[in-house]
Amino acid sequence: MKNIFNRNTLLFWAFHAFSLGVLWVPFSWNAIGILLGSYFIRMFFITSSYHRYFSHRAFETSRGFQFFLAFMAMTSSQKGVLWWAGHHRIHHRHSDGPGDLHSPKQGFWWSHCGWFLANDHEATPVDRIQDFAKFPELRFLDRHWWIPVAAFFGFLFLMWGMMGVFYGGFLGTTLLWHGTFTINSLSHLWGSQRYETGDTSRNNPVLAFITLGEGWHNNHHYSPSAARNGFFWYEFDVTYFGILLFQKLGLVKNLRGIRKSAEGADIAAQPLMN
């Protein structure tokens, strides 16, 4: 039994408990708007920043915007940027194999959140993320991951008081955790497989909706470094369009495309946008 009783566990369940604070705050549609904004804005930075940029280098950007991407993703309270990306690289190297950190083959609970809480994986795997660990500002953020979280909660309180803290902070973060974790758990159990990738990764439109495109997980395991996970026009991938907007604004460049098939043909019949 791996040790999941530590400070991470306490924080995790404390956020769940404080989420019940919404029951003591008068309901309003403004509160629902705060909740949805807190969830989807931060989900976008998890998917575009933690995942596609820092884990897979799907595009290039400046050092300043790189810091902004890291800071915004870290408001999600999913530990440090180097920790997140380094562990994700390990997952891809050993997907569903003995070295995979969170394969459902080890049990649903473990793949969903047990691995995240365990002491076993608390240290940042610097050897897996040396390309970004060379930046002192990212190492600082990684060590002090609580700073962006505290800043986010402070912003919510200043803007909307305790309604913002309970709806956007505690409940929004709790839902964000579980939304993100579905990609480690459900995306390897539930859905269809377009490509033979040597693992159990699957495409699931429901999970793609709640994660802004990450649910096209079999696509992603086929071409991990691609800036988009939705390969076809009908595959919902809001994150990719957000990255395209960053490109139009001159904030990012050199978006990486989908890798070629063995026959040399493009996997997607048509690009989503020129």
Q: Where are the domains of the chain?
A: 7-253
- At 12-37, the pLDDT tens digits run 999 999 999 999 998 899 999 999 99
Q: What is the pTM of this model?
A: 0.91
**Which tops the pLDDT comparison, 105 or 41?**
41
Which residue in 229, 225, 227 sits closest to 217, CA to CA? 229
Residue 20, Ramachandran bin (φ over 0: left; ψ between -120 and 50: alpha; else beta) = alpha
pLDDT of residue 3: 61
Which residue in 156, 177, 178 sits closest to 167, CA to CA? 156
Give the mean model confidence (pLDDT) for residues 76-92: 94
Three-state DSSP class for residue 122 = coil
Which residue type is seen at 197? T
Q: Give CA 58 to chain center in angstroms.
A: 14
* Inter-CA distances, 24 with 160, 163, 165, 223, 273, Å: 15, 9, 12, 46, 46
pLDDT of residue 102: 83
Q: Helix, strand, coil proportions of the chain in percent (round to 5)?
A: 60, 5, 40
**Cβ(269)–Cβ(232) under 8 Å?**
yes
Burial 132-156 (b: 16+ CB within 10 A, else e): bbebeebbebbeebeebbeebbeeb
C-alpha angle 11-169-240 in degrees, rounded to nearest 5: 105
Give the mean model confidence (pLDDT) for residues 150-161: 98
